[in-house]
């Protein structure tokens, strides 16, 4: 098992390197830089010497290769750079934002998995019937309606009908005020969980129907096992691998896909940090935040792969 983990980590390094290069290049394709984002139209009044001095100050002087090598070398030593606008190291910003995004992703994944598996089993237990049609409508809505639409509608309804503003006030960390934190987190988690539930529901339905047609399920029924036992112990249990796979992948996507929802609900997570960094052209902030998301995604996929052996002992790594 240790060898397998080591191999997966080594193979993931290439992916992380590709992500680092890609985000570095894409950021520099965006018109403007941190100097123009800071000074605006006054940038045209700078002399060449002043501009070069500011570029060196912001860490964007020199060739692109030297910039990338300098940033990557600093990251490998634990130095993610410095945010001039925030007035603190990027590492501090990441440590503040990462728990917010992880908590939101975990809550959304729990909601999406519970709803998706429940609706999927509900629909597949009576295929081609009213249950199935209703379940597929729920799954289709989860896949078709964008999260920003659901979030915007939810905020509007809560504000106009109930005079409730989920984003009002400063953000409360879960270890400081759990109840306020839950109030601020539950609605964005429901928005993201609704989208995830559609994917999980369709996967659960397909896996359920495939397993239900196998011989050992008919044998279990022939031996007199109750329908409840057959459904959950024999069918759902053997359908867990594709369900766990899609849930793990979606959780990884949530870590980097909460930008719009965090903006709508004013949550200070990685998504909002990346968006603010792009607006301000703070390359170190964006590059480091995206790299953290990529590392988290790789770790989640590794944990999902290792979880297979716990779900199904027949699964072996080659």
What's the whole-model pTM score?
0.83
- The pLDDT assigned to 313 comes to 61
pLDDT at 1: 58
Tokens for 131, please give them. 């249950």
Q: How many whole angstroms from its chain centre is CA 206?
A: 24
Q: Which pLDDT score is estimated for 107?
A: 92
For the chain, the helix, strand and coil percentages under 3-state DSSP, each to the nearest 5: 80, 0, 20
pLDDT score, position 263 = 83
pLDDT of residue 168: 63
What is the SS3 assignment for 75-136? Answer: HHCCCCCEECCCCEEHHHHHHHHHHHHHHHHHHHHHHHHHHHHHHHHHHHCCCCCHHHHHHH
Query: Which of 176, 159, 192, 187 lies closest to 265, judged by CA?
Result: 187
Whose CA is closest to 131, among 205, 210, 190?
205
Tokens of 283: 């390359």
- Cα–Cα dist 205/170, whole Å: 41
Q: Which CATH class is domain 91-311?
A: mainly alpha
pLDDT of residue 111: 93
The pLDDT of residue 4: 64
Which pLDDT tens digits describe the chain residue by residue (318 residues)? 566 667 777 777 888 888 888 888 888 887 777 777 776 666 666 777 877 787 777 777 777 888 888 888 888 888 888 887 777 888 889 998 888 989 999 999 999 999 999 998 888 888 888 888 888 888 888 888 888 888 888 888 888 887 777 666 677 778 888 888 888 888 899 999 988 998 899 899 998 888 888 888 888 888 887 878 888 888 888 888 888 888 888 888 887 777 888 888 888 888 888 888 888 888 888 888 888 888 888 888 878 777 776 666 665 545
């Amino acid at each position: 098992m240790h060898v397998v983990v080591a191999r997966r980590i080594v193979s993931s390094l290439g992916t992380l390197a590709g992500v680092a290069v890609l985000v570095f290049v894409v950021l520099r394709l965006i018109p403007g830089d941190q100097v123009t984002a800071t000074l605006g139209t006054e940038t045209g009044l700078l002399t060449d010497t002043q501009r070069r001095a500011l570029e060196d100050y912001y860490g964007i002087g020199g060739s692109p290769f030297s910039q990338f090598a300098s940033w990557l070398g600093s990251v490998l030593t634990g130095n993610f750079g410095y945010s001039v606008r925030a007035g603190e190291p990027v590492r501090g910003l990441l440590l503040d934002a990462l728990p917010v995004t992880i908590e939101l992703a975990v809550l959304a994944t729990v909601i999406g998995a519970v709803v998706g598996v429940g609706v999927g089993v509900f629909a597949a237990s009576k295929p081609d019937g009213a249950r199935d049609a209703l379940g597929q409508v729920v799954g289709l809505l989860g896949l078709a309606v964008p999260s920003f639409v659901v979030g915007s509608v939810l905020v509007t309804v809560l504000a106009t009908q109930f005079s409730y503003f989920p984003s009002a006030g400063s953000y409360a960390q879960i270890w400081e005020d759990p109840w306020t934190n839950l109030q601020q987190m539950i609605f964005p988690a429901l928005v993201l969980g609704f989208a995830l539930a559609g994917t999980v529901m369709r996967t659960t339905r397909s896996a359920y129907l495939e397993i239900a047609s196998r011989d050992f399920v008919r044998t279990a029924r022939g031996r007199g096992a109750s329908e409840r036992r057959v459904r959950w112990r024999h069918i759902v249990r053997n359908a867990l691998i594709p369900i766990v796979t899609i849930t793990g992948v979606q959780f990884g996507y949530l870590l980097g896909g909460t930008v719009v929802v965090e903006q709508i609900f004013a949550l200070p997570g990685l998504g909002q940090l990346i968006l603010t960094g792009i607006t301000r052209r703070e390359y170190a902030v964006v590059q480091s935040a995206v790299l953290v998301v990529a590392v988290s995604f790789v770790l989640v996929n590794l944990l999902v792969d290792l979880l297979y052996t716990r779900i199904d002992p027949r699964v072996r790594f080659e």
